[in-house]
A and B are shown apart, each in its own frame.
Chain A
Amino acid sequence: MNHITVPLYRAAHGRTGDKGDRSNISVIAWHPELFALLVEQVTREVVAAQFRHRAPSQVQRFVLPGLQAMNFVLDAVLDGGVNDALNLDAHGKALSFWLLELPIDVPDHLQHLLAGPLPEN
């Protein structure tokens, strides 16, 4: 099956939340038919690798089929959290956009469901 490789933000959107030194990032499919490939490709291991420079002590993934969403919980990635970190973005508010950079493969027949500008042919 032919496919294209696109950044995750073409197939999903998300938001980051924080509590202490723990970040949670939602990944929500733009369309129900895109959800299965997200579950298959955006695994706990892939997400841990994307954040390896932050050395998470644990990465958990929760799958929510009713919402066509996943919730990732990353421990110890905020340099101590909002009161401790020296980051300008001590909450890690921008981290969803780091996760949404992940490359994913989308089969041809699902490409019309992707968000954003149409690919140039």
Chain B
Amino acid sequence: MISTARPPLLIGCAAGFSGDRTDAAGPMVDTLIARLAQGPAGQRAFLIFETLAERTLALAQLRRRADPEAGYEPLLDDMLRPVLARCLAHGIRIVSNFGAANPRAAARHIARMARELGAPAPHIAVVEGDELSSLEQRALLREQLGERMDGLAVVSANAYIGAEPIAAALDAGAQIVVCGRVADPSLTVGPAMSHFGWKADDWTVLARATMAGHLLECGAQVCGGYFADPGYKDVPGLDRVGFPIAEIEADGRCTIGKADGTGGLVTEATVKEQLLYEVHDPSAYLTPDVVADIGEAHVAAQGTDRVLLSGVRGHARPTHYKVNVCYESGWLAEGEISYAGARAEARARLAADVLRSRLAGLALRVDLIGALSIFNDDAGHALAATPDSGMRDVRLRVAATHADRSEAERLGREVMALYTCGPAGGGGVRSTLTPRLNTISCLLAREAVPVRFEMVAP
């Protein structure tokens, strides 16, 4: 078989979320170019950027409402401009969900960027169909969600679509594929499907590539990012932590490494932590492409900073897409004030009592930063069970939500008033008022969500 002799496909990931470091792509592309130069004939490389979390898309939709040419990843230019010309010159294709709520505007931006860089006009495809905006689709969502949906100020409704339209766009010659809400691992599965010619029901290889994509999708998190714990888990060069590269074989198995000349590390421990990240039942990791099963998975170091993942199995994909509906949900008010020195914690606790009394009607969360905060709970059970520990540098934080802006605003004013009306020595008041977005999820039959790609440039 020719296919088994094919060299591994290289997929580098240069962003793990919207807001990730924009200097990750440079060393990544340098490394991919060097590997292609040294590697066997026929080796190919892709660069992916994963930039969409649950709420990112709703925020993008709000930006698009204000400006029809906005609504895609705000850092697109910073991410792509430093590497775009080199990718095009070396045949490194790019796949990303940085299109967010407006893939076509992102594609126009990329085409403009290529012109400004003096690069030949790239073939750019957009993937669409994730946005559920038609009347028929909204009616189906109402059927699924019931009365909960009535009266909601819906900002966005998107299905997590899969790898097939990405693979189809690449098969049609796209050099850059701009997506909105596709499942994160599908950014990896799409290129592998297209490159190896996998069928959409070859569950084993799709599951293996899905877990490769899962390891890539959070960027540095598999390379020593979000891992360091001094004395227990030491990470060299965390300030310049590398981003990951998957080498995917024709049978789907993958070896994870990282960009050359970067910090961080890829070990069995870093790969295990990321493999289980945001996984529930390990025998059923659901994606639109396949149900991946890592119940029998193994990882094995292959020299320095290279780890092989094997033993991943696959089962038939779900019949339905997961859908997230994002809606406006009132206001979040937060306020903080600090106390330090003798009896600081007692003064902070007294300030909290004052606020609870003054803000009756708001369900107030109270934290004592420096004594007990993020291990606390909204109802304050943990704080109530924790006596004054005598901390001498404590920051009181209170938070509440309310549907009415004017009610929520009371919180900031009362925290401010602690300057003159509260316990002794309080300082450093800060308060914020933020519009809230909330999400509900449901499932929608695949037939109700037609997906497609379109070549939009040149």
Q: Which residues of A contact B (CB under 8 A)?
A: 9, 13-15, 17-20, 22, 24, 26, 28, 30, 53-54, 60, 62, 64, 66-67, 69, 71, 73, 79-80, 82-89, 94, 98, 115-117
Could you tell me the distance between the alpha carbons of A69 and B275 in the complex, rounded to whole angstroms? 11
Contact of A13 among B233, B365, B401 (CB under 8 A): B233
Enumerate chain A residues within 8 angstroms of B294, measured Cβ to Cβ.
Answer: 64, 67
Nearest residue, chain A, Cβ from B437: A83
Q: Are B282 and A64 in contact, CB atoms less than 8 angstroms apart?
A: yes
* Selected A-B contacts with CB under 8 Å, 16 pairs: A15-B276, A19-B280, A22-B280, A24-B278, A26-B276, A53-B377, A66-B311, A67-B294, A67-B297, A83-B439, A86-B332, A86-B365, A86-B378, A87-B378, A94-B374, A115-B232
B162 → chain A, closest Cβ, in Å? 18
Stretch at the interface among B79-87, B112-120, B202-210, B266-274: B266-274
Q: Are A13 and B269 in contact, CB atoms less than 8 angstroms apart?
A: yes
Could you tell me the distance between the alpha carbons of A64 and B248 in the complex, rounded to whole angstroms? 23
Contacts A13-B229, A64-B297, A67-B298 given; indicate if A18 touches B272 (C-beta within 8 A): no
Q: Are B296 and A94 in contact, CB atoms less than 8 angstroms apart?
A: no
B388 → chain A, closest Cβ, in Å? 18
Q: Are A28 and B269 in contact, CB atoms less than 8 angstroms apart?
A: yes
Q: Interface centre among B231, B273, B365, by most A CB within 10 Å?
A: B273
Assign chain B's interface to a size class.
Answer: 35 or more
Could you tell me the distance between the alpha carbons of A24 and B437 in the complex, rounded to whole angstroms? 23
Q: Are B438 and A26 in contact, CB atoms less than 8 angstroms apart?
A: no
Nearest residue, chain A, Cβ from B273: A15
Q: Are B438 and A83 in contact, CB atoms less than 8 angstroms apart?
A: yes
Q: Are A19 and B378 in contact, CB atoms less than 8 angstroms apart?
A: no
Q: Interface centre among B281, B385, B401, by most A CB within 10 Å?
A: B281
Q: Interface centre among A26, A53, A71, by most B CB within 10 Å?
A: A53
Enumerate chain B residues within 8 angstroms of A89, measured Cβ to Cβ.
Answer: 374
Q: Are B298 and A69 in contact, CB atoms less than 8 angstroms apart?
A: no
Could you tell me the distance between the alpha carbons of A9 and B232 in the complex, rounded to whole angstroms? 9
Nearest residue, chain A, Cβ from B55: A83
Could you tell me the distance between the alpha carbons of A30 and B267 in the complex, rounded to whole angstroms? 12
Enumerate chain B residues within 8 angstroms of A54, measured Cβ to Cβ.
Answer: 377
- Contact pattern, B 247-281, Cβ under 8 Å of A = 1, otherwise 0: 00000000000000000000001001111111111
Enumerate chain B residues within 8 angstroms of A14, measured Cβ to Cβ.
Answer: 273
Could you tell me the distance between the alpha carbons of A86 and B282 in the complex, rounded to whole angstroms? 30
Enumerate chain B residues within 8 angstroms of A71, measured Cβ to Cβ.
Answer: 276, 279-280, 282
Nearest residue, chain A, Cβ from B385: A53
Contact of B278 among A19, A80, A117 (CB under 8 A): A19
Q: Report if B316 contacts A (CB, 8 A).
A: no
